[in-house]
Structure 1
Amino acid sequence: MARLQTISEGEIQQMSSVLQSRVVTEVVAQVQSMLGQRQSATLDIAVTGESGSGKSTFINAFRGIADDDDDPRAAKTGVTETTQEIIAYDHPTAPTVRLWDLPGIGTPTFQPQRYLEDVGLTKYDFFIIVASERFRECHVTLASCVAQAGKKFYFVRNKVDNDLEASARRRGHMGLSEEAVLREIRDNCKAGLQRIGAGQPQVFLLSCFQPQRFDFALLHETLERELEGHKRHVFLLALPNLTAAVLERKQQALAGSVWQTAMAACLSAAMPGGAVHSSVPMLMSTLQSFQRSFGLDTNSLLRLANMTGKSSQELYGEVRSTSGRDLSRQTVEGMLSQVALGQQVLSALLESRIPVLGNIISGGVSFMASYSLLKSAIKDLREDAERVMHRALDGADNTREDVPDPGYFYAD
């Protein structure tokens, strides 16, 4: 009968090292895959409508970019149709979200079925049909074809601020309230769309020059609610900060993935030869992405200043957190070290007796520090973003174009 062999301490250490190395490598790959799937999710939004309806202005407003012919990132706008071909515009802080400016509809040669084939119907997640001044037969026809093809559409009635001003001039003596005028516009659009038999159509009344008014926030909320999975996540983070509710939902969405980032940092530190501070580059990249999601990075603040007529210095003055103002490698290292310091003795003791547990505890220090840092940063950045939002929207300089009588009661 064979005698049971004794395993030496050195062999135990070697086996533990190999075992941990393999397990950590597999888990790191899984966690990084989860993070990668969420970050790389794409969302393609088709924006179509008549010439002069404000498609390009809508795209700029959605992306938080001012209408500026000198800005290469802005969709080109004008009184006449400026979109003669399909152009994709990436979101400045969420590049996997793309808005596609499609050629105008409503011309005598417009054929909806051929139009949808030419623009590549299947590659878009949904359509936004933009109209202004009046509801037309071409809107019904296009919406019907989009619905029949199994794609969702959302109907945007743009330039309602101009409609209100024109109606006040034309019918001021009747004493119609703003609410009554907007209700008539909405009901007119719904009545036209109901002819396609798609149930209760969704109509949103907007002013792209005053996104904080009317239905812009409602449109964002509806799109977010009806998207699923990772597409919903990237869409939410691309939303402009128009309400405190949007900021709260961003905070919740970012907080939901904190454990994954902290775990990846933890396991990197737990790898043989790893150290707590090896997680710093990953944490720095994550914190910078949080800044962009809350619109607090330098480029986002400059765009917001350009949109609202405020100075970037004035907006930056509302950013008060360390994560927003003083994000540096030294800051991150200091916070990680502060948490790790209190557990150094326990970590060293366990590592000397049980090497595997020692490595895991070292990773645990990194996990707790990373998790605490990221959760705290999200909260602080959300508070910064809310102050910036209130400052930006307080008396914002919203330039509007003048239009004639809207004539929204009529359809061709």
Structure 2
Amino acid sequence: MKKVILLVVLAFVCLVPTAFGAAPAKNFVIVDAKSNESFVPIRFLNGYNGTTVTWTAADQRIDIVKEQTKLTLFVGKTTGTLNEEPVQLTGAPFNDNGVTYVPLQVVSKALNMQVTWDKELSSVKLNQDDVSAASLPFLTRDKNGNVNNSKPIVSEKKTFKVGKKSFTVQMVTISLLHPKIDMDVVLAGNTIGKVEELSSLAKRNNAAVAINGTFFDAYTTGDYKAPYGYIISGNEILKQSGGDRRTVFTYDKNHLVELIPGMDFLDRFKLGTIEGGLQAGPRLLTNGKVTIDVVKEGFKDPKILTGGGARSALGITRDHKLILITTGGATIPQLAEIMKQAGAYQAMNLDGGASSGLYYNGKYITTPGRKISNAIVIKYQ
């Protein structure tokens, strides 16, 4: 009989569950468009710098505890308690896609957290006790209560006009915060110096989308074809690149994406938040404006400086979508204008020429002219 009672209790009181249904693997802050109130997921708070979160299903109660501080909130209610004293909320906790969110304002005040908003990265930086810092992407909940309504992956063929010239562009847009989307940077043959067909690399990694990555020594007659620049996967630097000034594309476990100057990369990596990325360049857009500086990034190849050709590029939107494109005959300045028209807020060039390739839904939409060294892959699970 005691065992039955214990099982019933455990069913109603537990540490924060991963989901009511299929929970997203990524944490992000939600900003409500009506009230402008911000909400943070309790799954992020649980374990953050000594904080413990307990969920009681019977009365939809959330207990957030750190040391001598206890904040108790309830889903759907704008009243709670802080150390047993009544507290009024400006927004009620709610559930979305199997995750429970609580008002950031009351939580940050109760736990003595400093909150800094970065509008350029669409992220929120949280500091506590000047020790533990974390950055979370943020999304807006619209006036109908919808969050992250975008399709996970959209593939389309578009035409963009730059000056008097029109460019046909293959474009795949990925909603990075969608719960079924995962991202990785992968090596041909899982080994530095190998090359492999992009389609083979995609299929081997169960990828829905794949695009060629950074530059490599494609023209050597030897079997070892070294990639150029940093390559990062699984919080590990797979390929070093000391002193390289080219831009590095990075992402963390919550798919918060950033383009980092090459000389700043190692200091950022030491913070321990970078999950994956690769170094290519040049950078095309910064905060919605064309910002090409090939000399500063150390490029000397005429194909980058002045020439036109087959191009691959990636862009990031302000609402955390990743835009992957391929096109032909574009110079780097023309490519930057294309990315701007495509809706990117930040953007970077990738390897091009015969390496340029884009794979989607089991087939090429742009076929590369050679085997490649590495790739960015998107998985849909």
Of structures 1 and 2, the one scoring higher in RCO (CA 8 A, sep 6+) is 1
Report which of the two has the higher share of strand. Answer: 2
TM-score, normalised relative to structure 2 = 0.29
Report which of the two has the higher share of helix. Answer: 1
